[in-house]
Chain A
Amino acid sequence: MSVTDLSSLVRRADVCAAAVADCFSGDGEILANPIGTIPMIGGRLARATWEPDLMMTDGEAGLIANPQASVPADQRVTETHNPYRRMFDVVWSGRRHVMMGATQVDRFGNQNIAGLGGAPERPRTQLLGFRGAPGNTINDTTSYWVPSHGPRVFVEAVDIVTGIGYDRAGALGDDGGRFHEIRRVVSNLAVLDFETPNHSMRLRSVHPGVTVDEVVEATGFSLVIPAEVAVTRVPSAAELKLLDDIIDPAGTRFREVPDNS
């Protein structure tokens, strides 16, 4: 009953934003690089609360200090010039935690954003490409954001591995995989992590109003389910005020994750 009670008090997008913010906990003075609407809002929330030293992008060629998730170009407070080429210096130095999207993700955190079906050299559905996923995952902490948790995203095996998961990193040995960490997957239903003996994906918490069964049903492989599954924390009053008044006053987060999702 307490779950139901909570769900009537908080909005799902706010829970997701706080869950994203928690992914960056302890990161200190690195580039927090959440990609997507709620990731960007959650990253800004982390910086506005417990991780004040994080650096964040404007989505172009600058790292900016503004607290808002979306800032018009003429209002940006730029800390440093960070053009695309410079980003590799940051990524390859290990000073970044990226939160990417995933068209597919499997139990070990392998990600696919390149193509679906067919053969690797001729996919049935061509997607974006490998982009920076191999380099991100081999060099830095990575998390994923899935705005629509379903069995076609959380799959038994991804069609092609763009971002590498724990099994692939482990096969590289202690040296090759030593900078690899998939910290969390945050979805519209739950928070998942890899804090299990073989790094198989675990249900870390369900969002208020979501049942464990719903998450299990929406996942295309067997999750590790702890005996007691926590409920994702509700943002504090101070966090909600930051989200509403400063970080995302336009409420873009509610469009990405509606309350009935």
Chain B
Amino acid sequence: MTANGDENFPQPADKRITADEVVARLEPGMTIGIGGWGSRRKPMALVRAILRSDLTDLHLVTYGGPEVGMLCAAGKVAHLTFAFVAPDVGPAAVLEPHFRAARQSGAITCTELDEGMLLLGLQAAAWRVPFLPTRVGLGSDLKLVNAGLETVRSPYPGPDGGPGEELIAQPAVHLDAALCHLNVGDSRGNAAFTGPDLYFDDLMLEASAQGFVSVERVVETEDLVGAAGDVTRLRVNRMFVDGVVEAPNGAHPTSCDPDYVRDEAFQKAYLATAKDPEQWESFRSDWLSFPDEADYQAALAARPQEGQN
């Protein structure tokens, strides 16, 4: 709303777009940050839009879950920056077979880092500094799988007054686009998480030249705080967001607390397709080739047993 309603003044930007319009703004070879963590609150509606597009040669940066395996299996990925890829990490941690196949076959190249280094790399990009120093990584074999990783010597005295400490200089991880899925947002690009963890979504958006957010529901700006629960949950703001996609159940099959839990049966079925290329092709054709997200959601809803929760 404009303050005076005068049509001679510009209207505030309404950034609502479709998932396919997001993908239209991406280009082959781009570095794409994907929000969420493991198999939690992943922007899967946007990932599905990439899967049905002709976009290829992507560099993914992610706290990786099943989106990595799907995009790798579909031949969309050239390079992956990651600290882990897991359908979930916990007592029942399993590995992501499609990602493993891509790495082991040499279909993708990788930059590996510690998960805290990824935080620093995104933060450095967001703050427009070339690197951030950290102790993390010293002594490990990361340099074998992280080409160009350098150290830096502190210009300040060491702990006992000696020479400055040598630290890892985690370089900025600049993104061309960031894709995140949150619980609620408005048409202008403000968004909130209502589950237990924001993960690194705000940093992904701040480290990126373009930011795209899908949300479970779009509400009026004046209803955001109420829909989010309280003001501390409004952690994504529109200065860092270029497009908003309303995508109910858009994190499926990953979890989107508190709106829905992971669809374990669906994820398991997807993971099992790594055993055999034919099974993957049939899964891809059954579930990842709909002309748009609404058809996917309709097909999910039409499944014989309710498996969405």
- CA distance in complex: A175, B137 (Å): 14
Which one, B114, B134, B162, B197, contacts A132 given CB within 8 A? B114
Q: Are B116 and A88 touching (Cβ within 8 A)?
A: yes
22 A–B pairs (Cβ distance < 8 Å), ordered by A: A60-B197, A62-B196, A81-B196, A83-B198, A84-B200, A85-B119, A85-B198, A91-B116, A120-B145, A122-B106, A126-B95, A129-B64, A129-B83, A131-B84, A135-B136, A135-B137, A137-B140, A138-B138, A139-B136, A160-B144, A163-B140, A175-B159
- Collect the chain A residues with CB atoms within 8 Å of residue B117's CB: 134-135
**Is B99 touching A126 in the complex (CB atoms < 8 A)?**
yes
Contact of A138 among B100, B112, B136, B145 (CB under 8 A): B136
A: which residues have CB within 8 A of B? 36-37, 40, 59-62, 81, 83-85, 88, 91-92, 114, 118, 120-135, 137-139, 160-164, 168-169, 171-172, 174-179
Contact indicator A84/B139 (Cβ below 8 Å): no
Task: Please count how many residues in chain B sit with their CB below 8 Å of the partner chain's CB atoms.
Answer: 49
- CB of A120 within 8 A of CB of B141, answer yes
Q: How far is the CA of A168 from the CA of B143 in the complex (A)?
A: 14
Nearest-neighbour CB distance to chain B for A57, whole angstroms, equals 11
Interface pair B144/A129, CB less than 8 Å apart: no
- In the complex the two chains form, is A168's CB within 8 Å of B140's CB? yes
- Contacts known (A122-B104, A135-B117); A83 close to B83, Cβ less than 8 A: no
Contact of A129 among B82, B135, B140, B165 (CB under 8 A): B82
B239 lies within 8 A of chain A by Cβ: no
Given A36-B91, A125-B104, A133-B140, the answer on whether A139 and B199 have CB atoms closer than 8 Å is no
Q: Quote the shortest CB–CB distance from B164 to chain A (angstroms).
A: 9
Contact of B93 (CB < 8 Å), options: A40, A123, A128, A135: A128
Instruction: Say yes or no: B196 contacts A83, CB within 8 Å.
Output: yes
A227 → chain B closest CB, angstroms: 33
Q: Which 10 A-B pairs have the closest CB atoms?
A: A135-B136, A129-B84, A61-B196, A168-B139, A164-B139, A120-B144, A134-B140, A83-B197, A126-B100, A161-B141
Contact yes or no, B140 A164, CB < 8 A: yes
Which of A36, A85, A92 has the most chain B CB within a 10 Å cutoff? A85
Chain A positions within 8 Å of B84 at CB level: 128-131
Say yes or no: is B166 at the interface (Cβ < 8 Å to chain A). yes
B178 at the interface (CB under 8 A from A): no
Query: Which B residues fall within an 8 A CB radius of A?
Result: 37, 63-64, 82-86, 89-91, 93, 95, 99-100, 103-104, 106, 109-110, 112-117, 119, 134-142, 144-145, 158-160, 162, 165-166, 196-200
Q: Which residues of B contact A91 (CB under 8 A)?
A: 116
Interface-centre pick from B99, B196, B200 (highest chain A CB count, 10 A): B196
User: A88 is contacted by which of B91, B95, B119, B199 (Cβ under 8 Å)?
Assistant: B119
A162 closest partner in B (C-beta): B140
Scoring A92, A131, A164, A169 by chain B CB atoms within 10 A of each residue's CB, the highest score goes to: A131
Nearest-neighbour CB distance to chain A for B155, whole angstroms, equals 15
The 8 Å CB contact of B103, one of A92, A122, A138, A177, is A122
Is B83 in contact with A131, judged by CB distance below 8 angstroms? yes
